[in-house]
Structure 1
Amino acid sequence: MRKGLIMMINKKRIFLFFCAIDCILNVNTLSAQTSVQVKNTLDFSRNEVVAVPVSALKSFLNKNKESDLRIKDSSNKYLPIQWIDYDGDGKGDELLFLATIDAKKTNIYTIVSDAKIRLPETEVTTYSRLVPERADDYTWENDKVAFRVYGPKGQKEALAGVKGSTLSSGVDIWLKRTDQPIINKWYKGYLTDPMFYHKDTRGEGYDPYQVGDSRGTGGIGIWKDDKLQVSQNFISSKTIAEGPLRTVFELTYAPWSEFGVKETKRISLDIGSNFSKFESTFEAEKPVPNYTIGITLHKNEGEAKLNDKTGYYLHWEKIDDAFVGEGIVVNPAVIEKSIAFKSEIPDQSNLLVVTKPQQKLTYYAGFAWQKSGQIQNQKDWENILQKQSQIIENPLLVKVK
């Protein structure tokens, strides 16, 4: 009997042993985690969208579903995330989350797999879309700024003399003073009142900005013989992403200039940023002398500052009863020269940043409006531009462990 009891005890131990192993395996499967280390090398704090390529998450996603992924900070607070699917295959190519990092600090974020944890909602967002209700503008925004460009129907109408249509590849800016979305609201108002968003009657902002044939804030051209060769309106658009952290879309342009340039422009805008990121890819039939980025100087009544050494360019002007700061930030290594070109011809005065010819040109263009509360004076705007140039030169260092 004693022998039988010993055997029963041993069997029970074996059973408990394997149960324990099974429980450990199940726990590891459910709570498998990894970490993302984000380092800020600059001497000021940063609040930026971090992008993690899916290739860096391969070992994690081999064991867990993409839809179950969650990220928390060191205080165990779960953060909003966004997946970007660039190729449209239904799978995420890049994972985004928002990181707030003090000067010269490194933060550790933990990735967990738990479908039961609800993704945190955000009060603000990014957004973009084609707008067929007003010809075919393409418009985008975040909690700070809004922009638009003009499409093929608008071009056709402009050439036909239809009032209110625009023939331009310049970039329009909408002056908003709310962190809430305004695109859909303003275009809905436009349907009954074409002047709806040209008047600041609701405390949200308005569009007083004249683009015309100028470069607006960030349009492209080719500078030759003291003249700017530019494209017409975009011919097609594709929305890639819009969500709480980033909106991304692409525009294509018909061949333009004497050099037969075909251009695809990918534009993205992150939450909390005053700057859209422009990535223009070019194919040219003939050698191109340069690609030039511009900001309209309107009637030459504002102030322009050119900084080839650091790669940021400032325009400060008064529009109606408040000031607006516009700017371009680009890697100084690609710059050939810059000029504030003034002309008596309407819409031909532009701050021009002439860059070396290359297949792909990346730059940032944006603005801040005094009435938004983001800036009070020109120095405030210049500080934002200076920080943006440092951010471009010193991106956050991201390591998945």
Structure 2
Amino acid sequence: MSKLMKPFKLYLFFALSILIIACGKIEKPIKTITVKNPINVSRTFETIEIDGATLGLDQQINLDELAVRDNEGNYYMTQTIDLDGDKKADQILFQIDIAANESRIFELIHDASLVQKDSVSWCYSRFVPERTDDYAWENNRVAFRTFGPVAQKMIEENIKGGTLSSGIDAWLKRVDYPIINKWYANNDKEQGAYHKDSGEGLDNFHVGVSRGVGGIAKKIDSTYYFSKNFISWETISTGPIRTSFVLTYADWDAAGNTISEQKLISLDYGSNLSKFEISLNGVDTISAGLTLHEKTGQIKPNPEEGWLSHWESLDDSELGTGIVVPKKQMAGFEHYLTERKDESNLFAHIKVNNGKVIYYAGFGWKKSGQFDTKESWEKYLSDFSKRINNPLEIKMN
């Protein structure tokens, strides 16, 4: 080797070393996160939720500047959420798949250039004033809506086109991209357009005064009472991983009992079930319901695992709806049948703890290709129950 080559190679070695060290400094993790799946069930679309307050970071570090990678060097899509409205992120989210009984390691890195973002709000929600005043939400699998005060006032004043219901409507989509804005825009051009399936799905799910997919009621003696339409709304987050919002209702009466109700609803990417966190005063139990429509569907209660299922024929396909309640919070159920229009529901009775109830409710449409049979839908609910009752074990170093 020539005398000239030796210094050149030595220089190259040191130059590469400096570059590697510099890159190492940029990508040095500020936290290591170990995630363990404690059960013998593989899990997909699991949202890891980390509160900024638990990280102990310098106040100058913004959660929006944190990237997430695994120990193989793969970077993950993230979403941050401002929970208290102070314009600063309080939580960082990312999603993983994890095998049965597996442990995985992830790193948080303070380098905004490495943050993986997605310009599409796959998990989306908004207030819809152009269609009276709905509030609608969706992800890549399902969509929902419920109804506001103008729709209620129209009913009370005998104006055509109103809706009086605190039930949850299901929009049956069979594409993974967002459809809410498109369907409402089409409906503006052609009244009732979203009641026809042009290849993306449709709204053929009747709610009326039923509980739809997870609306609540209070039973006193032999009668169920429930609120009217929401009176105010607040969008908290939309993004690639989660949408969340708050709906507030006017106080309502249940046989002399005054009940206050505020719903925090969220929907994560990959999930068929919305999460309901409801603040309540005036009751110690509440009932979440699934409409039974023509009362010809098949029900499957599983109080041991904490879920209820209803499977029915709907036009040229079939539909499963379900409610999942966290462990030991279901106080019973009722297959409630009545001749009163839209008031037959399958109810899960849920305990109110410290003024709150938590449950999950949603649906699976056969025509979407997600669930072919009643049994596959019930297995989804059973696995979902196992997941929420056995959360991932997360440790940070």
TM-score where L is the length of structure 2: 0.90
1:50 matched to 2:48:
yes
Q: Residue 288 of structure 2 corresponds to which residue in structure 1?
A: 293
Distance in structure 2 (CA, Å) of the matches to 1:71 and 1:30 = 11
Pair 1:394-2:363 in alignment: no
Residue 55 of structure 2 aligns to which amino acid in structure 1? Answer: L
Q: Which residue of 1 aligns with 2:194?
A: 197
Q: 1:124 to 1:40 in 2, by over 3 A?
A: farther
Q: Which residue of 2 aligns with 1:318?
A: 313
Query: Match for residue 161 of structure 2?
Result: 164
Partner of 1:370: 366
1:264 matched to 2:262 = yes
1:376-399 Cα offsets, whole Å, 9 max, x none, are: 000000000001111111011111
User: Is it true that 1:76 corresponds to 2:73 in the alignment?
Assistant: yes
How far apart are the structure 2 equivalents of 1:281 and 1:365?
17
| Alignment-mate amino acid for residue 81 of structure 1 | T
1:385 is matched with: 381
In 2, distance between residues paired with 1:272 and 1:296? 24
Q: SS at 1:353's partner residue?
A: strand
C-alpha distance in 1 between matches for 2:280 and 2:62? 38
- The equivalent of 1:3 in structure 2 is none
Q: CA deviation at 1:25?
A: 10
Mapped to 2, the partners of 1:385 and 1:356 lie a distance apart of 20
Does residue 94 (structure 1) correspond to residue 91 (structure 2)? The answer is yes
* Mean Cα deviation higher: 102-111 or 66-75: 66-75
Q: Which residue of the other structure, out of 204, 211, 218, is the alignment partner of 1:222?
A: 218
Post-superposition Cα deviations, 1:109-137, rounded to whole Å, max 9, x if no partner, equal 11112222252437771000000001110
User: Which stretches in structure 2 are left out of the alignment for 5+ residues?
Assistant: 1-16
Q: Does 2:343 align with 1:338?
A: no
CA–CA distance in structure 2, aligned partners of residues 320 and 379 of structure 1: 20
Contact 2:322 2:381 in 1 (8 A): yes
Could you tell me which residue of structure 1 aligns to residue 128 of structure 2? 131
**Cα displacement (A) at 1:352:** 1.0
What does the per-residue CA deviation read over 1:8-38, in whole Å, with 9 as the maximum and x for residues that have no partner? xxxxxxxxxxxx9xx9899647635321111
Distance 1:204 1:91, change over 3 A: same
The structural deviation recorded for 1:335 is 2.2
Which segment drifts farther, 140-149 or 303-312? 303-312
SS in 2 for 1:178: coil
On the 8 A contact 1:56/1:400 being kept in 2, the answer is no
Identity of aligned residues (%): 42
- 2:344 maps to a residue whose letter is S
Q: Aligned residue for 2:64?
A: 67
Tell me if structure 2 keeps the 8 A contact 1:277–1:363. Answer: yes
Return closer, same or farther for 1:102/1:122 CA change in 2, 3 Å cut-off. farther
Is the 1:169–1:234 Cα contact (8 Å) retained in structure 2? yes
1:356 maps to which of 332, 351, 355: 351
Corresponding residue for residue 142 of structure 2: 145
**Structure 2 residue 185 is matched with structure 1 residue 188:** yes
